[in-house]
Amino acid sequence: MNKNLPFLLLAVIWLAACDQDRTEPMATTPETSAEQPQPPLAEPREHVVEAPGGERIDPWYWLRDDERADEDMLAYLEAENAYEQEMLAHLADLRGELVSELRGRIAEDDSTVPWFDRGFWYYTRFESGHEYPIHARRKGDLDAEEQVMLDVNEKAAEHDFYQVGGWDVSMDGQRLAWLEDTVGRRQHRLMIKELETGEVIDTGISGVSSLSWSADNDVLYYVENEPETLRSWRVRRYRVGESGKGELVYQEDDTAFYTQVSRTKSNAFNFIYLRSTVASEMHVVDAADTEAEFELFYPRQRDHEYAADHLGEHWIIRTNHEAPNFRIMKVALDDHADRDAWQDVIAHSDEVFIHGFDAMSDFLAVSERSDGLRRIRIHDWESGESELLTFEEAAYTTYLGTNADQDASTLRYVYTSMTTPNSTWELDVASGERTLLKRDEVPGDFDPDDYVTRREWAEARDGTKVPVSILHHRDTPLDGSSPLYQYAYGAYGRSSEPTFATGRLSLVDRGFVFAIAHIRGGQEMGRHWYDEGRMLNKINTFTDFVDVTRHLVDENLVDAERVFAMGGSAGGLLVGAVANMAPEYYRGVVAHVPFVDVVTTMLDESIPLTTNEYDEWGNPNDPTYYEYMLSYSPYDNVREQDYPAMLVTTGLWDSQVQYWEPAKWVAKLRAKKTDDNPLLLHTNMSAGHGGASGRFRRLEQTAAEYAFILDQAGLN
């Protein structure tokens, strides 16, 4: 045990200089009794956070250590982990049962549906008992001998954490390049393998976020991250075997933009894609000409987002120019810089939001959304007619699958709902015939007929109708007696889809109602849904969540005394804000890697992802945004009141939401809250934002979360 642990456990001396965080000395915390384990107490240390909008006192700022080496900080996190284990010790049998259940629903010997690309059938498979995938292929047909390209289990054997951040095969099929992360911070190392000989080349290049082979099989493009902020910013052209990092071909100096490299579906062009919250830009180059400079596709403009793919003699473009919900356009190859030459293929609609497309030789497949549901439209190039694929369930999601061969006459797509496992279908576009290629196996006694999914519409306090997707067991009554597990995200325009997940069955089978609140901040109802849940409209995200809860309770669908809220990352910000605003509605809150120290983080441009997100949250250097963000920031609004039971998780190496945000939040909650409900913090000391690597190891944390919830619901 760390030598500083006694100091941390006994620290109860509070600073008299604190203003908004002033507390009185306590001999013990209000949430414990003599019979219970004693929670760790992080001592407050005076620190002033300066901002144009005014100074703030932050007594737990000291928990931040960019190097992850401070002994006091590490001792505190370890003490919190020990306390969590003590508080959950009585649930050991239930946790073990849940782990067995969760693992029992995983098809251990499984494989993806193979896809054809440039002479090979590619697929990813798992072997029984193994944590990680195996990426493999067969040449020509599926009866050919298997060639294992990358066995991730072998690579992960010597690491506590291992994750492949992306991979690409050279145009001639001879080389594999992949990105590996052995910490969890998503700062990948570039690796190359000669597929014929098995030789592995460690380029020595780290801090990489994406890669793409050119048509010259010796040359690939990759994105280098800025060392301090970790922002993806430079593109380099690297020749296999050369020393150094390769030639710098592009640098993005606008800190609001992320950088990515990829290839068009035709493989004829490499491109650089630059994206901010409200704008995007592409640069393209002939994939066969590795001496050429990238050419600007169309110059960036604020509030203009676009992305293009190549098909024959045209570029096919998704754009929101004069089209808030996006439209599909086309333009001749040489005219891409002339926006007046862009022609409509799929016109803008106020009722339909366009997510993306697959441009095939004979047809265009469009991923779109209407009435809150994601759908697929098929547009015939020759006739100009289009048709929407229809399905029977009330709440579902369907999205484009892997369609690597642009000349294929069929389309792969995936259908799923809260009761239907992911199902890969192939559509013969000419005949309309649909063939089920694979439905994900759920081992055990799973029967989709045992479950019911439905769609509700909750009225928000401003009159807006908010869609809610609900899942429950057919034997669970919706009569006000069943506990509720309510999830939402509500940020970045990312929609929460009503998809299938085997894990949640462990709650649903025990009588829980599971609900996804499709709150503003996503794009479930179109672009306006996002705009009404960001910047100076962010409060709508939080009030929508509470109003969905009120609706389900007022309609007597769930038990008002057993409502649980869960969110992660920006969704952790959501449930953190809700815990301050309306704690009386929730029996428990689970916050995974929560972004809870909004103002302090957004004031610090050295922290990863900060400047990129001014158009999401606002720039707190502007007094208007400073005051608005301060009004909902979960950390800043912790007050002396009763809070729900809370379980908070983080990863020491998280590069998206730094570990100190949830750590500070929990420390402040301990000092302020007036209830005796459990407050637990779990830090994964060897992982980052996504938690543990490996498909089985991460089940331990899920089991701990579910055991915590079931215990609080009285179902242990």
Helices (H), 370-422: none
Query: For this structure, is 689 an active site residue?
Result: yes
Q: How many whole angstroms separate alpha carbon 210 and alpha carbon 208?
A: 6
Residue 569 appears among annotated catalytic residues: yes
Choosing from 181, 547, 654, 711, the catalytic residue is 654
Q: Which of 433, 345, 418, 435 is nearest to 386 (CA)?
A: 345
> Closest Cα to residue 204, out of 186, 175, 180, 221?
180
β-pairing, 120-126 vs 134-139, is antiparallel
Integer CA distances (angstroms), 385 to 23, 315, 345, 516, in order: 68, 20, 10, 35
Q: 3-state SS of 619-655?
A: CCCCHHHHHHHHHHCCCCCCCCCCCCEEEEEEECCCC
Detail the DSSP E strand segments found in 243-349. 247-251, 258-263, 269-275, 280-286, 295-298, 306-311, 314-319, 327-332, 343-346
C-alpha distance from residue 628 to each of 365, 434, 538, 601, 631 (Å): 41, 51, 9, 15, 5
Q: Is 654 a catalytic residue?
A: yes
Could you tell me which residues come within 8 angstroms of residue 409 by beta carbon, excluding any fewer than 6 positions away? 362, 428, 429, 430
Q: How many helices (H) and strands (E) does the chain have?
A: 13, 38
Burial class (CB within 10 angstroms; exposed 0-12, middle 13-18, buried 19+) of 218? middle
Phi and psi (nearest 5°) for 257? -110, 140
Catalytic residue among 569, 633, 655, 693: 569
Residue with tokens 């705009």: 531
DSSP letter (8 states) at residue 420: S
- Provide the token pair at 518: 């499709």
Q: With beta carbons less than 8 A apart as the criterion, state whether 580 and 573 touch.
A: no
Q: Hey, is 289 helix, strand or coil?
A: coil
CA–CA dist 359, 311 (Å, integer): 7
Contacts of 390 (CB under 8 A, 6+ apart): none
Cα dihedral 60→65→71→73 (10° resolution): 30
Distance between CA 610 and CA 629 in Å, rounded?
Answer: 14
Active-site residue, selected from the candidate residues 559, 655, 689, 711: 689
| Contact (Cβ atoms closer than 8 angstroms) between residue 425 and residue 414 | yes
Residue 358 zone, left/alpha/beta (φ > 0; ψ -120 to 50; rest)? beta
Half-sphere exposure of 552 (CA within 13 A, CB side): 35
Pairing relation of β-strands 563-568 and 588-592? Answer: parallel
Q: What is the DSSP letter of 688?
A: B
Give the whole-angstrom CA distance, residue 695 versus residue 131. Answer: 5
Please give the Cα distance from 710 to 716 (Å, whole number): 6
Report the chain's C-alpha Rg in angstroms.
26
d(CA 404, CA 122): 10
Residue with tokens 């969590």: 84
For 61, 64, 74, 681, the CA distances from 663, given in Å and listed in that order, are 10, 9, 11, 7
Query: How do beta strands 679-684 and 645-651 pair?
Result: parallel
Q: How would DSSP label each residue in 145-172?
A: PEEEEEEHHHHHTT-S--EEEEEEE-TT
Looking at residue 51, what DSSP letter applies? -
Instruction: State the DSSP code for 601.
Output: H
d(CA 228, CA 470): 43
Pairing mode, strands 451-459 and 423-428: unpaired
User: Which are the catalytic amino acids?
Assistant: 569, 654, 689
